Structures are given as structure tokens and as C-alpha cells.
Amino acid sequence: MSLAALSLSRTSLAVDYGLSVGPDYHTIIRQWQEAIEHYTLPATRQPQSLEQTFHELVTTWRQETRFTSSVTDMAMHKAYQRIIGLGPAAVPLLLRELERHPDHWFWALYAITGVDPSTPEQKGKVQEMAKAWLDWGREAGYTW
């Protein structure tokens, strides 16, 4: 039922049953309609794109792990785990993020792809590991 129909039916009920309509009646009905619209159509409840979800998770992860030095703690963070949960569709987003701002995305990339293109000599060197992953992504046909 549309909001107009709901409003009309309320007005009809008041008239049909001989109820008097006070000076605040229309204000109350308008506010009621606005509340229905707010709770059924808010922007925050619209379906998000994968990219929006990814960026929100990255922001949360960065904010909540900024003082963490343990890579294990970073990778076990709930936002990081949710990024892994996005699956293969997150790989190009992770590679783009790695290109823009090299960070500890290697665990997530490995968890999703099952590949580790970095050499033992590169371990612990974020810039070199990032380059190895970006090279791998290009060779594997990813675009970002």
C-alpha cells in the first residue's frame, strides 16, 4: 500500500467514524509518513556495491590496526577477515589497494588465490612483496 493510500485511509477512518480532527492531525500524519519513508528507504539501507563494502572494510581495518605491529593480529582483524570473505572478486580491489598504498594485504591475497608470488628473500619487505603481487596480478590477467 502506498503512503498516499495509507494517509487517505487514516483520514477516511477519522471521517467515517465521526472522529474530530484536531489542529495537529495533519502534522502528525505528515511526520508519520516521513518516518515510514525514512525507515523503509534510507540511503544507508540501500544495497552496497562490492567496492563500497571493500573500501569501508579497508578504512575500518586501517583505523583499528594502526597501532598494531603484529601481522597476525592485523590479518585476524574482523574487517580483514571479511575482506577475505569477499572472495575472488576482491582480488583486483586488493591489487589496486596494494598499488596505491602498499600494506599487509599478502595474507588476504594468499588466502583467496592460494598463490604466493613473493620469494623467500622478499619476505618482510612490504614494497618488494607488493611489487611481486602486482607483477603476478598482471601476468594472471587481472585489471584494476
Indicate whether 5 pLDDT > 80: no
The DSSP output letter for 87 is G
| Same domain membership, residue 72 and residue 130 | yes
pLDDT band at 19 (very low <50, low <70, confident <90, very high): low
Range of the domain at 117: 50-139
What's the number of domains the chain is made of?
Answer: 2
Angle at 105 between CA 100 and CA 140, to 5 degrees: 80
Predicted local confidence at residue 45, as pLDDT:
61
| Same domain membership, residue 114 and residue 76 | yes
In a domain, 32, yes or no: yes
In a domain, 144, yes or no: no
| Same domain membership, residue 77 and residue 19 | no
Query: pLDDT tens for residues 88-122?
Result: 999 999 999 999 999 999 999 999 999 999 999 99
Burial class (CB in 10 A: 0-12, 13-18, 19+), 133: buried
| Same domain membership, residue 65 and residue 38 | no
- Whether the CB-CB separation of 106 and 92 falls below 8 Å is answered with no
| Same domain membership, residue 66 and residue 32 | no
Predicted local confidence at residue 33, as pLDDT:
81
pTM: 0.66
Query: pLDDT tens for residues 20-65?
Result: 677 777 788 888 887 777 667 666 665 678 999 999 999 999 999 9
